[in-house]
Structure 1
Amino acid sequence: MPTNWATPPEPNFVLISTLISTLLSSPFAAMALVATETTEYCNQLVNVLSKLHDPNDTNIKEWVATNLGPLCYNNVHNYFITQAILTGLSRETENGIHWGQMLNRISQELAAGLGEREEVLMLTEGVKFSGITALDVIEALIGIQRDSKPSGGDIVKLYKHYNSNDPPSPVFLRDAAILNALIADTFVPRRSNAHVEETLWLLAYAVSIVDQDSKRGSVGDDDDFKSTLEALKSLDALTNRITSMAQMQDHISAFLQATERQITSMALLHWVSSCLSNGSFYEWTMLREEVPPAFNLVDEMVIRHPFLWEHATTFWITLLEGGYESQDPLMMIEIKQKILDHLVLLVKVGYAVPVVKYISEHTGSIDESLRTHFVVSILSAIEAPYPKEFSSPLAQIVASLSQELPRFSEGFNLISAFIDVLLNTATDPSDSDLDLLIKLKSRYS
């Protein structure tokens, strides 16, 4: 498309009448809009678009903010209908000129102006993948992302469309917020989800169907889909029968099998995390003799699935911050030390920086013996070179230790070698860590 026109032609807005008809015949017509009528809003939009006469990169941003933003940013559905129309028009040509590039730029600027309103930004992706079809699917997805929880109506709408001969893109369901919300509504103790079967079906569809065009009408025959759905159903039935950690041990092989798949691992980790609210479930006395089976399962998921590292870290931190007031102080230290060992595993597999940063930011609330154990465990497992984002918070943890380790003990030697490496590789005299390292060197030499 040319970047400059002396007398630019206006785009063909005849297509809008078709778009309006489609919108009015869909569930979109029942949605609450700022505009009194959908047609009224579309007429306003046509009028605004018709006034764009110099479509170039230098003025589109300002034009969108001045003319289009006020129409779209006050209501999520107005935003969606605008993106739908822009997408439809971007496929059209007028007098041999393709307006797609300009209209796509307008669409991008419109999305950029929303800032952090993620529930609306998702609409842009929705338009890209499904155009203006299945608008009630988009409405359901918006509601789930906004509330972090699906309603019964949302599940029914999604299941109806995805289990049809013309399903929407599975990309929608694979959105992290959507997957997490569906899992959180199902894999929890004492759940209230009345649409479990449909939810499990949607989860299996999301992770099994790659291209909906090649699967239309045949999803029930897809082997990956069927095996995934069966795995989810099996895990659901299993978790509904378990009420204590001891019972988990009796079914450990079935739980281990669930960790083989990403989606069942996500579901299992959420279920185990949800059980944290029931202190009796964990039966802390088991920690005196052995590691609870749930802990081993989380470790297995950490090793198998890197995308769960962040969630697993949150799981262990929640346990670490538990009070355990009913426990003997020495037993409480032992419990937390074993929890720290699981965080050390996350460091070993590659999730080092977030874990070390957390400990460095909470030295005041973590017992010194635990901090010492953490530092020695980390330095025993991680060798130089150390990236700055890892070494700096770890040095802060070392500095927080007031009790000297026995001279030339394993811990003393590890810390001394760590400090030497950092001092030998320091290249910036103004480095804020340099003074700290020099002070630490005087203690560990």
Structure 2
Amino acid sequence: MTLRLQKLEEYKKALSQKDAILERDIYNDALSQYLAQGGAPMDAVTLLAGSYIGTPSMCNVVASSATSIGVDSAMVMRQALKQILKDRFNPQRCDELFMKTEDQPPEWLHVIIDDTHWRQTIYELIEQYPRCAFLNYTVLRIANAGYGDEICHLRTASTYIQVYNSILTDSLSQMVPLDDMALEEQLPNIVRVCCEREETYLYAQILLQKLCENEDTLPLVRLSKELEKAAIQHGHHALVDTLKQYLSAAPPEVSSALKAIRSNELATPGDIMVLYKLYGSDTPPHVNHLRDFALINIMLKTVFVPKNSGTVLKQELKEKLIYLIAYATTRNERIALKDQKQEIDQVCRDLQELEVALISKAKGENLTGAMKTISKLVNLPVGSMALLLWVEYTAIHTAYFETYFRSSEVSLLHLLLDEIASRHPLQRSLVFQVIKNGLRHPYENFAPEILMSLQKAWIDRLLYLVQVHYTLPVLVFMKGAEREMDDSLTVHFVQKVLRMAQAPYTLAFVEQMADILLPITDMLGLIKNVQKAVVDFFDQAKQDDNIVISDDLIKKINHICS
């Protein structure tokens, strides 16, 4: 009897809660059980009627009133519900209810997954409650529904192997067909997820190694290198070296020498001799052990950048290091070494000639004595890489511009950058980096007007990259860097870009141009021909049916053109 009364009291409490009549399953879970235990029907009706407040109806009335005065009541309601959900969310209670469903997802879950607002709410909740089974299940369903790019932003994306594996698989599939510029946009998110913890880094690198064994896919190789860089930045240098040694299966002597070069960012005489002895033999190790961009970059700097380190290499050691560079960039394991030796030796001789020309013969404004060799070797990819490093050093760390810069002429160093960008599309990102470094360098001993002319010359190098279709990275850089430079340089850049650009335009191009122009809107009104070009450009963009311009972008455009 006592137990029955206790149950009746529990059901009375359920029927007495605010708006109980609107609760899901109130009739099955509370009312029917109350009556089954002998509760009076009229008492149940009284309890339900007395607990009714009508909160949903009041919300509808308030929302209708708010809508009538121009308030987005739907958005306000969503935000209010989101805040209530976050404040009252109980992960333990949620998991208990979830487990009762016997692995059958709630009927309303697909509504959450299909709605951007509620997906974002789930992401915020799982950051706060990473161990909640229901939230992790929901994130997995979201990933399976094709929203993996959103999940990549989550700090907890790599917590569970199913979610992590889903994200990684989708990301790798999307990366394979991408070009360099599109890949550049995709890398940061997947790199962050893969480097969240040591085990996720190991998993990703081993998977990439297996994929690269079956297919020589450059985006996957690029991703592997980016993961190494990110892991080192997080302080896991030892892990990177150990895993690299394990996956490469390199001989211990090779691994030790390469590890020392990477760690010290310097090729010492001892490391050079060890590698040369092995790779100069009749049965050299696999070339892939040497074929690493960071490693080759260190070797090139050691040879072609004056005063790159405190160690000055003897000429015979430079020649051995040049041989290693030539071998790494020329050797094809599908061809017998004896059949390729002549080609490797020729590249070696060319690089030796370039080293002598740049270090000993490149004198004066026109690099007298070196131009013949430079003109020949700029066609060779590894030769142009060496030139690029030398140009950066000469432009930033010597008095070349202080001595020879003329505002009326294009300097030879700048012409070399244009030439490399033109001949070697895969090196445009490296040329871009040199230009950015040059533009940001605080040159001294310049009159203000001469310094402005030099910065304009660097801007012209960016414009040449736009001309050879390396456009979006340049626009993104200008959007962030224009605060650091005079407005007249931004106007010059915009004017030249609009002369080159031809419709139809991509939405990304229009968005970036709007962001660049927004801070200099006032100045545009003072230069009528530029303002007209800007207005014409945006008019063409708005008339293009192939791009969808958002309301926010329209506001920016109207502000710029007003």
TM-score under structure 2 length normalisation: 0.54
1:168 matched to 2:285? The reply is yes
Residue 470 of structure 2 is matched in structure 1 by: 351
Q: Is the 8 A contact 1:137 1:157 kept in 2?
A: yes
1:116 matched to 2:231? The reply is yes
SS at match of 1:400: helix
Aligned letter for 1:208? T
**CA distance, structure 1, for counterparts of residue 364 and residue 511 of structure 2:** 38
Q: Is the 8 A contact 1:302 1:309 kept in 2?
A: yes
The farther-off stretch of 172-181 and 259-268 is: 172-181
1:227 matched to 2:349? The reply is no
Residue 336 of structure 2 is matched in structure 1 by: 214
Label 1:385 to 1:125 Cα distance change in 2 as closer, same or farther (>3 A): farther
Residue 27 of structure 1 is matched in structure 2 by: none
Q: Is the 8 A contact 2:507 2:549 kept in 1?
A: no
1:329-367 Cα deviation digits (max 9, x unpaired): 222222221221111001111211111111110221111
Q: Is the 8 A contact 1:252 1:293 kept in 2?
A: no
Label 1:145 to 1:390 Cα distance change in 2 as closer, same or farther (>3 A): farther
Q: Which has the higher contact order (CA 8 A, sep 6+)?
A: 1
Q: Note the C-alpha offset of 1:267.
A: 0.6
Which structure 2 residues correspond to residues 331-410 of structure 1 after superposition, within 5 A?
Answer: 331-401=450-520, 402-405=522-525, 409=529
Q: Is the 8 A contact 1:170 1:212 kept in 2?
A: no
1:15-56 Cα deviation digits (max 9, x unpaired): xxxxxxxxxxxxxxxxxxxxxxxxxxxxxxxxxxxxxxxxxx
Q: Note the C-alpha offset of 1:429.
A: 6.7
**CA distance, structure 1, for counterparts of residue 230 and residue 434 of structure 2:** 30
Q: Note the C-alpha offset of 1:291.
A: 1.9
Q: Note the C-alpha offset of 1:198.
A: 1.3
Q: Note the C-alpha offset of 1:300.
A: 0.7
Label 1:278 to 1:167 Cα distance change in 2 as closer, same or farther (>3 A): same
Aligned letter for 1:205? Y
Residue 261 of structure 2 is matched in structure 1 by: 144
Aligned letter for 1:303? S
Which structure 2 residues correspond to residues 59-98 of structure 1 after superposition, within 5 A?
Answer: none
Q: Is the 8 A contact 2:392 2:438 kept in 1?
A: no
TM-score under structure 1 length normalisation: 0.67
Residue 187 of structure 1 is matched in structure 2 by: 304
1:393-420 Cα deviation digits (max 9, x unpaired): 22111112121356752x2332112212
**CA distance, structure 2, for counterparts of residue 252 and residue 243 of structure 1:** 8
Residue 79 of structure 2 is matched in structure 1 by: none
1:286 matched to 2:410? The reply is no
Residue 18 of structure 1 is matched in structure 2 by: none
Aligned letter for 2:293? A
Residue 94 of structure 1 is matched in structure 2 by: none
**CA distance, structure 2, for counterparts of residue 319 and residue 138 of structure 1:** 35
Residue 310 of structure 1 is matched in structure 2 by: 429
Q: Is the 8 A contact 1:144 1:150 kept in 2?
A: yes
Residue 559 of structure 2 is matched in structure 1 by: 439
Q: Is the 8 A contact 1:340 1:374 kept in 2?
A: yes
1:403-442 Cα deviation digits (max 9, x unpaired): 1356752x23321122123333486575542321121232
Label 1:123 to 1:231 Cα distance change in 2 as closer, same or farther (>3 A): farther
Q: Note the C-alpha offset of 1:213.
A: 7.0
Aligned letter for 2:275? L
**CA distance, structure 2, for counterparts of residue 437 and residue 384 of structure 1:** 17
For structure 2, the 5+ residue unaligned runs are: 1-160, 166-197, 211-226
**CA distance, structure 2, for counterparts of residue 321 and residue 350 of structure 1:** 23
Label 1:284 to 1:420 Cα distance change in 2 as closer, same or farther (>3 A): farther
Aligned letter for 1:403? M
1:322 matched to 2:437? The reply is no
**CA distance, structure 2, for counterparts of residue 151 and residue 287 of structure 1:** 40
SS at match of 2:434: helix
**CA distance, structure 1, for counterparts of residue 367 and residue 499 of structure 2:** 32
SS at match of 1:222: helix
Q: Is the 8 A contact 2:304 2:355 kept in 1?
A: yes
* Structure 1 runs (4+) greater than 6 angstroms displaced: 112-115
Q: Note the C-alpha offset of 1:285.
A: 4.3
**CA distance, structure 2, for counterparts of residue 115 and residue 259 of structure 1:** 32
Label 1:325 to 1:124 Cα distance change in 2 as closer, same or farther (>3 A): closer
The farther-off stretch of 168-177 and 416-425 is: 416-425
Aligned length: 338
1:201 matched to 2:323? The reply is yes
Residue 135 of structure 1 is matched in structure 2 by: 252
1:101-141 Cα deviation digits (max 9, x unpaired): xxxxxxxxxxx999824865576565555x3x511212222
**CA distance, structure 2, for counterparts of residue 350 and residue 145 of structure 1:** 33
**CA distance, structure 1, for counterparts of residue 229 and residue 382 of structure 2:** 31
Select the residue among 403, 412, 415 that pairs with 1:296: 415
**CA distance, structure 1, for counterparts of residue 270 and residue 493 of structure 2:** 48
1:135-158 Cα deviation digits (max 9, x unpaired): 121222223233332233222221
Label 1:369 to 1:134 Cα distance change in 2 as closer, same or farther (>3 A): same
**CA distance, structure 2, for counterparts of residue 344 and residue 384 of structure 1:** 18
Q: Note the C-alpha offset of 1:199.
A: 0.8
Aligned letter for 1:184? K
**CA distance, structure 2, for counterparts of residue 115 and residue 364 of structure 1:** 28
Q: Percent of aligned pairs with the same residue?
A: 23
Q: Is the 8 A contact 1:244 1:281 kept in 2?
A: no
SS at match of 2:284: coil
1:276 matched to 2:395? The reply is yes
Residue 177 of structure 1 is matched in structure 2 by: 294
Structure with bigger gyration radius: 2
